[in-house]
Amino acid sequence: MGPRPLVVGNWKMNGTVAFAGALLADLLAGLREASEPGTPLLRQLEVAVCPPYPYLALARERLVGTAVAVGAQTVCAQGDGAYTGEVSAAMLADLGCAWVIVGHSERRSLFGEDDAQVAAKAASALGAGLGAIVCVGETLAERERGAAESVLARQLAVLSALLASADPARLVIAYEPVWAIGTGRSASPQQAGEMHAFIRARLTAHGASGAVRLLYGGSVKPDNAEALFSVAGIDGGLIGGASLKAADFLDICRAAARAARAPSGVH
Ligand code: PEP
């Protein structure tokens, strides 16, 4: 891995107040522990958790003053106003969120978000001072018909204005092949490496800084995390199911820290 790795937990629509409180306490205790070589994980990595909206304030309260950031899972593209049921980027920033996930494949496929809406949401997030973690990725059908790269190119092209101008510390792209999300079928390190190289080339073509981080997401688990994070060009992970178990998420964070310390990636 190159830049400081980022590991983000996407809790999706899971939990209760009690569950969230217990998970946050376990995470914090584990992240504060020293890992080899004696440095707390939180000095080796950036870590964020993205609980559902109702638990954001709780997460912020428990994590304030720690190095674990809080993020939301989506945001409204519009500013405050008559948008019943929506949550604005300004509200998330006001609550102390540092990040928001934008364009997750579940938002795209289940809630009809298109590329233009994803770009508008990312712009709104960045405009409010949040970091945007923008998800891109192809479906299995798109991969099988040889369209994976053209889908990624299209999903990235709508972000071109943001890519060229955003603070690289606050714009993150997450490559999440749709066929790998929640399926237990991760991309292989080689597949992920190829797609990350393609995405990095597109980012460069759009004028993005090399410091924009590129995460991998899709069935990352403790047993495959280190192999994935050791691939050159993978700067951390977006973790769904495994982020709901403190022990698994902590193992994944440790794997990211080990991969970051290793001299070079597999490519
Ligand atoms: C996700 O929801 O972004 C994700 C990658 O899920 P999972 O890790 O469960 O595949």
Output the residue whose Cα is nearest ligand 1's atom 6.
240
Name the pairing type of β-strands 6-10 and 46-50.
parallel
- The identity of residue 180, as a single letter, is A
pLDDT > 90: percent of the chain = 88
Residue 265 has pLDDT above 70, yes or no: no
Q: Which of 181, 234, 253 for mutating ligand 1's site (highest number of atoms within 8 Å of CB)?
A: 181
Q: Which CATH architecture is the domain 96-219 placed in?
A: Alpha-Beta Barrel (3.20)
Mean pLDDT of the chain: 94
The pLDDT tens digits of the residues spanning 70-110 come to: 999 999 999 999 999 999 999 999 999 999 999 999 999 99
What pLDDT does 225 receive? Answer: 97
List pLDDT tens digits, range 129-159. Answer: 999 999 999 999 999 999 999 999 999 999 9
What residues contact residue 47 under an 8 Å CB cut-off, 6+ apart? 6, 7, 8, 9, 31, 41, 67, 68, 69, 253
Percentage of the chain with pLDDT > 70? 96
Q: Report the C-alpha gap between 185 and 52 in whole angstroms.
A: 25
pLDDT of residue 40: 74
pLDDT at 267: 38
| 264, pLDDT greater than 70 | no
- pLDDT (0 to 100) of residue 236: 97
Question: What is the pLDDT, as a whole number, of residue 42?
Answer: 77
The pLDDT of residue 2: 63
Per the model's pLDDT, the better-predicted residue between 44 and 221 turns out to be 221
What are the catalytic residues? Answer: 104, 176
DSSP-assigned letters across all residues of the chain = --SPPEEEEE--S---HHHHHHHHHHHHHHHHSEETTTEEHHHH-EEEEE--GGGHHHHHHHHTTSSEEEEES---SS-SSS-TT---HHHHHHHT--EEEES-HHHHHHS---HHHHHHHHHHHHHTT-EEEEEE---HHHHHTT-HHHHHHHHHHTTHHHHHHS-TTTEEEEE--GGGTTSS-PPPHHHHHHHHHHHHHHHHHTT--TTSEEEEESS--HHHHHHHHTSTT--EEEESGGGGSHHHHHHHHHHHHHHHHSS----
Ligand 1 pocket member 105 (CB < 6 A): no
Tokens standing for residue 74: 């989506």
Q: Is the pLDDT of residue 260 over 60?
A: yes
- Residues 255, 236: Cα–Cα separation, whole Å: 10
Cβ-based neighbours of 147, under 8 Å, separated by 6 or more: 138
Q: Reply yes or no on whether the pLDDT at 241 is more than 80.
A: yes
pLDDT tens sequence across 41-67: 777 899 999 999 999 999 999 999 888
The predicted model gives 234-262 an average pLDDT of 95
Q: Is 103 in the pocket of ligand 1 (CB under 6 A)?
A: no
238 close to ligand 1 (CB < 6 Angstrom): yes
Pocket test for ligand 1, best of 99, 178, 239 (most atoms within 8 A of CB): 239
Are residues 215 and 175 in contact, defined by beta-carbon separation less than 8 angstroms?
Answer: yes
